[in-house]
Amino acid sequence: MEHKLKSVDLYYEENGQGTPLILVHGFPLDHTTWQPIVPALSKCARVITPDLRGFGKSPATKGAYSMRLLAEDILRLMDRLNIDKAVVVGHSMGGYVALAFAHAYPQRLSGLGLVASQAEADAPERRQSRLNIAEDVERKGVRVVADGMPVKLTSDPRLANQLHELIHAAATPEGVAGCLRGMADRPDATEWLGDIAAPSVVIAGSQDGIIPPQKGQVMATLLGRSWLVLIEEAGHMPMMEAPERVADALLQLVKSSLGYEKQCECA
Ligand code: MLT
């Protein structure tokens, strides 16, 4: 049903040249969460940071935003930019989108990065709670999530304040409700992890209070060609809490994707 939602042209920013590297932000945030690592990455890659529909400067639509729909938005952006293959990296919900992308468009993927994310679907109680919150957001606005969420994202009070302001500025009620409904209905990606042939890195913060780092360890074990980067000092926002570690890991991923592309060409 969600596939009937109209297509949108995502807002994006682009820095650097070389291997296309698309960074997909988490919920309920926008592309600016990647800013701490863009300067390092853009020395070696063409870094594209979109705003998902309903967030930042991208248009919002009403209805459930399935992870597959959001992955289609990324594909449409690649087509607009004449990008055949990209390294796709997602933070948290952006990771669910990256996994949906890997499953639906394996031929367009040259590397996969999953930051503070997981492959499993929601348990029934979590699902129901998301659906209830979506209704609440439609009645009362984004403060329903903006006011309680930042302290769960990070233990750094300064960063939590920054994220509080960001959610108020970047999120629309349609976007928040649409993503909550889409996340509630997302399929379990565990089963298809083993089919992902592109090199993958899983990055997890040891202090993540939203998605326990063990979920990242499970993904790294099930993915075919992957490695795990566990960051002791980070919570749910590793790219903002430990930008150098995350940038290093993603540069390594870009290098591995080049090797993968060569192997593909030779095969
Ligand atoms: C996110 O950070 O994108 C979300 O908290 C993920 C989730 O709620 O599952």
Question: 6: buried, middle or exposed (CB in 10 Å: 19+, 13-18, 0-12)?
Answer: exposed
**Ligand 1 mean position to 93 CA, how many Å?**
5
State which ligand 1 atom lies nearest to the alpha carbon of 130: 8
**Residue 197 · residue 187 · CB < 8 Å:** no
Q: Per residue of the chain (267 residues), what is the pLDDT tens digit?
A: 445 688 999 999 999 999 999 999 999 999 999 999 999 999 999 999 999 999 999 999 999 999 999 999 999 999 999 999 999 999 999 999 999 999 999 999 999 999 999 999 999 999 999 999 999 999 999 999 999 999 999 999 999 999 999 999 999 999 999 999 999 999 999 999 999 999 999 999 999 999 999 999 999 999 989 999 999 999 999 999 999 999 999 999 999 999 866 554 433
| Atom 7 of ligand 1: nearest residue by CA position | 93
- Amino acid, res. 28: P
Which amino acids bring their CB within 6 angstroms of ligand 1?
26-27, 92-93, 183, 210
Q: Which of 87, 103, 109 is nearest to 24 (CA)?
A: 87
State which ligand 1 atom lies nearest to the alpha carbon of 118: 9
Angle at 234 between CA 178 and CA 161, to 5 degrees: 60
Strands 12-15 and 45-50: antiparallel
For residue 23, CA distances in Å to 20, 41, 46, 183, 222 come to 10, 11, 11, 19, 22
Question: 69: buried, middle or exposed (CB in 10 Å: 19+, 13-18, 0-12)?
Answer: buried
Its pTM surpasses 0.75: yes
Q: Which of 220, 164, 223, 200 is nearest to 90 (CA)?
A: 200
**Ligand 1 mean position to 180 CA, how many Å?**
9
**Ligand 1 mean position to 240 CA, how many Å?**
16
**Ligand 1 mean position to 13 CA, how many Å?**
22
261, 35, 189, 155: CA torsion to nearest 10: 140
Burial annotation 235-249 (CB, 10 A radius, 16+ → b, else e): bbbbbbbbbebbbeb
